[in-house]
A and B are shown apart, each in its own frame.
Chain A
Amino acid sequence: MLKRILLIVSMVLLALILLPLLEGLGEQTHVSSLAEYYLSSGADDLNSPNLVTSVVVTYRGLDTLGEVTVLFAAAAGIMLAFKGLKMDEKEREKTQGPSELLASGASLLFPILFIFGIYIFTHGHLSPGGGFQGGVVIASAALLLLLSGVIPGVSHLMTSLLEALAGASYVAIGLLGLYLAAGFLDPRFLPRGEWSGIFSAGAIPVIYSLVGIKVGSELSAVLNAMISKGGEK
């Protein structure tokens, strides 16, 4: 009974917080002055057609660094929680072997998916997409191989090495921007190139590719930790 009352009280509190936002709300026709700057001069500043990418990588790049750190912390927590969690013999018996059709289909699909992931994060400054999406596509490719039983597990050394290298180079490029250009994570120390070419927008494609590699290897390691039978020595 007490629980139910507390439940209703918290729902009412949520409504009280949210209702003032609705009050006197019409259709918005203007964006905030900050967004106005990004929309009007972001394209000339960075020569990148996708303004969301400019915001993620450059203007709010420090936030992205923080988010990548949070992702790393969460991945570390998951690995820690699954470490030493071994399946019983009983559990392992129930695991079904994959079929040959699925295994060969998955090994056929893996390179296509991998290349598609790389395409997504190298074209992040030109079209919708970027490091996070591309990294997830690569992680799903690894997941496909894991689930279809083509490989027993993703190498922990490889994922941790890739992830650490990508993270360190991300910070190094940020410091390079501080040294050669206007500020931390400023991508303008590389030539800005021509409009909507793949080698344009300064270091934005490089930074987003590093984010993609980092996210992809991290999520692959997480999925590996969740799926693997726990038989590691």
Chain B
Amino acid sequence: MIMGYIGGILAIIGSLFLLLAAIGLIRMPDTYNRMQAGTKATTLGSALIFAGIALHQPGWELKMTGLIIFVFLTNPLSSHALARAAHFIGMNPFVKGKSQSSRDDLKARRDEE
């Protein structure tokens, strides 16, 4: 019973993180900031929700552990692919007051290709 309450609290914290990620997606100024909000917060949020479900439903621990591992594997990969694609089509990072800024480490490679 007490485990159920702890699981519920974990799930609520996780959904708060997901809400923050959603707010970040709207609020942030450019693609890279949005990706930051949309990856880190959702990874933690969904992991917390799965942990909460595992505590709430006895017997689901193995499945939920597998899901958490899967989210940890796929979420950073997809955001890496998205950020790379955004960079290759020439999205510039947002800097207040400037139009173009910041050092471009991948520029040499992009020109090569």
**A and B in direct contact, judged by CB atoms within 8 A:** yes
B60 at the interface (CB under 8 A from A): no
Please state if B113 and A109 are interface contacts (CB–CB under 8 Å).
no
A107 to chain B, nearest CB (A): 11
Name the prevailing secondary structure of the B interface residues: helix
B70 at the interface (CB under 8 A from A): yes
Name the prevailing secondary structure of the A interface residues: helix
9-residue interface stretch from B9-17, B22-30, B77-85, B93-101: B77-85
- Mask, A86-109, CB within 8 Å of B = 1, is 000000000011010110011011
Q: What total of chain A residues lie within 8 Å of the partner, measured CB to CB? A: 10
- Mask, B15-42, CB within 8 Å of A = 1, is 0000000000000000000000000000
B positions within 8 Å CB-CB of A: 70, 73-74, 77, 80-81, 84-85, 88, 113
Given A96-B85, A99-B84, A109-B74, 14 more pairs with CB closer than 8 A? A96-B113, A97-B113, A99-B80, A101-B77, A101-B80, A102-B77, A102-B80, A102-B81, A102-B84, A105-B73, A105-B77, A108-B73, A109-B77, A112-B73
A positions within 8 Å CB-CB of B: 96-97, 99, 101-102, 105-106, 108-109, 112
